[in-house]
Structure 1
Amino acid sequence: MISLKNKLLKRKRFWIPLAIIIFIYLNNSSMLTKQRAGEPLLLAHRGLSQTFHTEGLKDDTCTAERIYPPEHPYLENTIPSMKTAFQMGADIVELDIHPTKDGKFAVFHDWTLDCRTNGKGVTRDYTMEQLKKLDIGYGYTADGGKTFPFRGKGIGLMPSLDEVLKSFPKESLLIHVKSNDPEEGVQLAKYLSTLSAFRQSKLAVYGGDKPIETLHQQLPNIRVMSKSTMKSCLIPYIAVGWTGYIPDACTHTELHIPEGIAPWLWGWPDRFLNRMDEKDTRVILVAGDGSFSEGFDTVEDTKRLPIHYTGVIWTNRIDRIAPIYHKNLKK
């Protein structure tokens, strides 16, 4: 009798873990979920911009001083570069904003004006009218300062957020709040609240924890993302997502997933994307470990994507990537 009980106990010790493993596999395998169809969406980082080498790159590196020899005439975060990006096939364009002295938002990437422009200091020290007088192409060089191919060509090209939204009334935009100042969240929420519900639905905002939290409290219908919102969604999902449970924090948000982390998410890729679709959450895949806005910028880069991937692809070279998916034929 005791021997029989021991045998049953041993069987349970074997079969229960095996059953759990089988359940986890079946519940998270992309082969056993609804097959996704269609092409990925393309996000053009800063529109169509001049790219640069990333060797030894630091947070305070002046990237305008290390660009590759120009292959096109466009400068990042300008209306011409965004317009061209959409024409080439971008589904979403990302842009950076900073506050100005007169209560507006300037569309500009860097923390200071010193690197790219002939100005000094920060945007909040200037009115939008004064910023328009700067040459945003002043500091670009591909040969260590011997020549400056865009000097004199960027005067008047720094747009305000208002100009961008008026120029692209129906397109999808991803707005980057560069600081962690909660007052910028208040200011941006106040401005975006004046837009129509349709226009708000085509916008998403990401940035520092404090401004994003403030903005979300005042405009909960706008899709947002910060390190805090990412952690609130992904940490519990990684812990128990194998059961199929999706945390409420994953609802109507945005996730920027580095390609090195993505395969460790339960159900990646198809089942994970389906689960996020159910929660109205947008998944954007970024290259490498996600540092310094790495993108899928070459044909070779796209070969690392999962087969039939239909989420969003982050790219710094929409001109190279869109033709792969024939996106440029849709315009």
Structure 2
Amino acid sequence: MKTKLAVAALTLGLAFSVLKSPEYELSERGQWVAYRGGGQLLDYATFNHQCVANQIVKSPNTHIENTLQSMDAAVKAGFSAIHLNIHHTVDGKFAVFHDWTLDCATNGSGVTKKRDMKYLKSLDAGYGYTFDGGKTFPWRGKGYRVASLDEVVERYPHVELWLNMKTGDRKSVVALLAYKKSLPAHQRSRFFHFAANKNLSLYTPNGVKRSALSMESGKKCILDYILYGWSRFYPESCSNTKVVVPPSFTKYLWGWPEQFAARAQKHGSRVYLWMKHSEFSPEYDFLDRGVGVIIGDIAGVNSRD
């Protein structure tokens, strides 16, 4: 019996040594991505996924999400990519705004996509933001407006733009792709998209390099890697894309952070830690180890040593 166990252990050891992934060198550092353009912090333990404006936590951050002011601060702090929420408006424009409706965050009303850009630009985008239950509204009347995607594209010509299309119907996606096609050729490659799973094929109809990620495709990559990422067989679902990892999953990923990132880079992908509106901590700064960070805490990142 002992002999059989020893033979089995030896066989498994040899199989592991043969199948185990080789070591790779990093080809580039990670990058900072400004989540929703930067903004206020949230306590995700109590956040109910409704209105962000009345659930923020007081912090050193000066601005609110998805505004030109917050994007300016992010770019100044060294962020090379900006993640934004956009809505396809009733007049065919793209508004940079998160909520499905206007009533909570602004002094306007109605469904965001059913308003035109002129109306949206007339609103006070900081009107409803409060961190003390409505006792004070520090961003009300301070010049925060709903920006158009046109403004963002023109204002930041050398920054990557990661767009989360809130209006995920086919017509809106086709309109966004037509908008991109209207831009100069050198501008089109700087876009990445968070999309509904049903629309992924619209973003990358024929190409190998994926320009969009859905919640489902992102989860599949992580699960596939957990199952056999330790081996020589790298998941196709993680190739030629952006691999976005919630912090709670890092402990399950073989080679995290550096070898995980190096293998992704070897297969045409880049790795990012999904921090959202959480507070920055130095323990999550993996840029020198090949992992980017998607985070809205611009002040926290800016104050690092």
Q: Which residue of 2 aligns with 1:237?
A: 225
C-alpha distance 134-306 of structure 1, shift in aligned 2 (>3 A): closer
**2:271–2:291: 8 Å Cα contact kept in structure 1?**
yes
Q: Which residue of 1 aligns with 2:9?
A: 14
Q: TM-score, normalised by structure 2?
A: 0.88
Q: 1:82 aligns with which of 58, 71, 83?
A: 71
The reply on whether 1:133 has 2:122 as its aligned counterpart is: yes
Using the alignment, how far apart are the partners of 2:133 and 2:219 within structure 1? 40
Please report how far the alpha carbon of residue 153 of structure 1 lies from its aligned counterpart in structure 2 after TM superposition: 2.2
Q: Once the two structures are superposed, what CA deviation does each residue of 1:22-63 show, in whole Å capped at 9, x if it has no partner? A: 456xx35xxx73454875411111223122333421122x22
Q: Which residue of 1 aligns with 2:44?
A: 54
Name which one, 1 or 2, has greater alpha-carbon Rg.
1
**2:24–2:263: 8 Å Cα contact kept in structure 1?**
no
**1:104–1:128: 8 Å Cα contact kept in structure 2?**
yes
CA-atom RMSD in angstroms:
2.7
**1:212–1:225: 8 Å Cα contact kept in structure 2?**
yes
**2:272–2:293: 8 Å Cα contact kept in structure 1?**
yes
Q: Which residue of 1 aligns with 2:112?
A: 123
Larger RCO, structure (CA 8 Å, separation 6 or more): 2
Between Structure 1 and Structure 2, how many residues are aligned? 305
* Residue identity in the other structure for 2:123: L
The reply on whether 1:320 has 2:284 as its aligned counterpart is: no
C-alpha distance 220-113 of structure 1, shift in aligned 2 (>3 A): farther
**1:175–1:206: 8 Å Cα contact kept in structure 2?**
yes
* Residue identity in the other structure for 1:148: F
Please report how far the alpha carbon of residue 307 of structure 1 lies from its aligned counterpart in structure 2 after TM superposition: 9.5
Q: Helix, strand or coil: the match of 1:260? A: helix
Q: Which residue of 1 aligns with 2:198?
A: 210
Using the alignment, how far apart are the partners of 1:164 and 1:219 within structure 2? 26
Q: Which runs of 5 or more residues in structure 2 are unaligned?
A: none
Q: 1:43 aligns with which of 11, 27, 33?
A: 33
* Residue identity in the other structure for 1:124: K
* Residue identity in the other structure for 2:264: M
C-alpha distance 84-280 of structure 1, shift in aligned 2 (>3 A): same
Q: Once the two structures are superposed, what CA deviation does each residue of 1:123-161 show, in whole Å capped at 9, x if it has no partner? A: 222110111111111111222222212222246x21111
Q: Helix, strand or coil: the match of 1:314? A: strand
Q: Once the two structures are superposed, what CA deviation does each residue of 1:148-180 show, in whole Å capped at 9, x if it has no partner? A: 12222246x211111111111111121111244
Q: Helix, strand or coil: the match of 2:157? A: coil
**1:96–1:176: 8 Å Cα contact kept in structure 2?**
yes
Using the alignment, how far apart are the partners of 2:126 and 2:15 within structure 1? 59
Indicate the larger mover: 112-121 or 302-311.
302-311
Using the alignment, how far apart are the partners of 1:110 and 1:285 within structure 2? 24
**2:258–2:291: 8 Å Cα contact kept in structure 1?**
no
Please report how far the alpha carbon of residue 229 of structure 1 lies from its aligned counterpart in structure 2 after TM superposition: 2.2
The reply on whether 1:108 has 2:97 as its aligned counterpart is: yes
Q: TM-score, normalised by structure 1?
A: 0.81
* Structure with the largest fraction of helix: 1
C-alpha distance 221-35 of structure 1, shift in aligned 2 (>3 A): closer
Q: Once the two structures are superposed, what CA deviation does each residue of 1:68-89 show, in whole Å capped at 9, x if it has no partner? A: 3463542211122112210111
* Residue identity in the other structure for 1:16: T
Using the alignment, how far apart are the partners of 1:176 and 1:240 within structure 2? 30
Alignment of 1:149-188 (within 5 A): 149-154=138-143, 157-188=145-176
Using the alignment, how far apart are the partners of 2:166 and 2:97 within structure 1? 10
**1:179–1:208: 8 Å Cα contact kept in structure 2?**
no
Using the alignment, how far apart are the partners of 1:186 and 1:120 within structure 2? 27
Alignment of 1:144-293 (within 5 A): 144-154=133-143, 157-217=145-205, 223-287=211-275, 293=276
Using the alignment, how far apart are the partners of 2:60 and 2:49 within structure 1? 25
Q: Which runs of 5 or more residues in structure 1 are unaligned?
A: 1-5, 288-292, 326-331
